[in-house]
Each structure stands twice: as C-alpha cells, then as structure tokens.
Structure 1
Amino acid sequence: MKAIWKDAVIAESNETIVVEGNHYFPLKDVNKLFLSKTDTHTTCPWKGEAHYYSITVAGETLKDAGWYYPEPKDKAKNIANYVAFWKGVSVNS
C-alpha cells in the first residue's frame, strides 16, 4: 500500500493493518520528512486518544492529515506506532 499526496509518497508498506476501513502504516515505513506533529487530539471510545500529523509537500501543508495512537487501549494495541491518513491523501496499492 502507498499513501500519496501531491505526487509524494508519504508512506509505503506491505504491512498495513486495516481498521474501520483505514490502512494504518507502520511508522518505520512512513517518510517522516513530510510530517510534523500538531496539537490536535481526538478520542475514540475503543482505540483511545489519537494524535495528529500535518503533511507538508513542496511548501503546501495539509493540516491533521495523518493520525496515530501513541498509547492505544487494549483492543487497539496492534496499531501502536502505526499511522493512518485522510483529508485528500490517496491510499491504494
């Protein structure tokens, strides 16, 4: 799977985990040069508190376009250190 925005490959992995229709990429397979942490947080009742990344490519920034659970609840432990994308980031094989 690949996560692409503005023709830049943000993440690429054969080891994604699909949860609720979203592909979560292992952090080791994400190009961190494009990411910057934001102060945004949301809460999922069964996954826990999500933290967000903005993506910047060629001077354009897509705010809160990636999210991750640094300390997921027990039912979501399998996505610790994984990142999912949305807001116009194309995720496909």
Structure 2
Amino acid sequence: MRASIDGVLIADASPEHIITIEGSHYFPPDSLTIGTLKESPTPYVCPWKGAARYYSVETPHHEYVDAAWSYPHPKRSAIETVGHDFTAYVAFDTTRVALE
C-alpha cells in the first residue's frame, strides 16, 4: 500500500505490514519517506490508545497541516486490543492523502 499527496510518495509498505485500527491504515516507521513529515504542536489524546503526535505533510507545493498522526507511546491495553504493537506507526487523513 502506498500513501501519496500531490504526486509525492509519503509511505510505501506491503499490506502485511499495515495495521488497521478503526478504519485507519497505520504504516510502519521504516516505510515513511524521509523529509515528508514535520511534527505538529496539535495535541490529542485518544481515550483508549493514548497521546497522539500529529504531523504536517510537506510537499514541494504545499504543507498539509495535521494530515498524519501516530502514537509514540500507546497504552499497553491498546496494543493488546489491536493485537500488534503499533508504536510510532503513522496513519493519514484520507480526505487529503491518497492510499492505493
């Protein structure tokens, strides 16, 4: 599966390495294109997953604020519920980022 925006590849991972949680596809950290994500100060805490970290996606043409997020330290109970450790995996806002 590939994630792209403005024709720029943001992430690329084989389907067996993608973790799907609540309809969002989370890409492993090593599948991300270096230099496309910039940490955002936007705070968010999911009641069952824990504190999220938002990212803006940067392309040569535009910055898409808060178009990606991850859980750098998910709750242990969330990992157990999902059945996979999704620490630092990144999901994208599919209204702005194309997944194929």
TM-score for both structures, normalised by structure 1 = 0.92
| Equivalence for 2:87 | 80
| CA distance in 1 between partners of 2:63 and 2:30 (Å) | 22
| Equivalence for 2:9 | 9
Amino acid at match of 2:70: Y
Give runs of ≥4 in structure 1 deviating > 3 Å. Answer: none
Look up the SS of the partner of 2:73 in the other structure: coil
| Equivalence for 1:53 | 55
| CA distance in 2 between partners of 1:32 and 1:85 (Å) | 16
Q: Which has the higher strand share?
A: 1
The correspondence for 1:20, drawn from 22, 31, 46, is 22
Identity %: 38
- 1:54-83 deviation line (CA, Å, top 9, x unaligned): 011113100001100011011333210200
Task: List gaps (5 residues or longer) in structure 1.
Answer: none
TM-score for both structures, normalised by structure 2 = 0.86
| CA distance in 1 between partners of 2:34 and 2:68 (Å) | 11
Q: CA RMSD in A?
A: 1.1
What is the total number of aligned residue pairs between the two structures?
Answer: 92
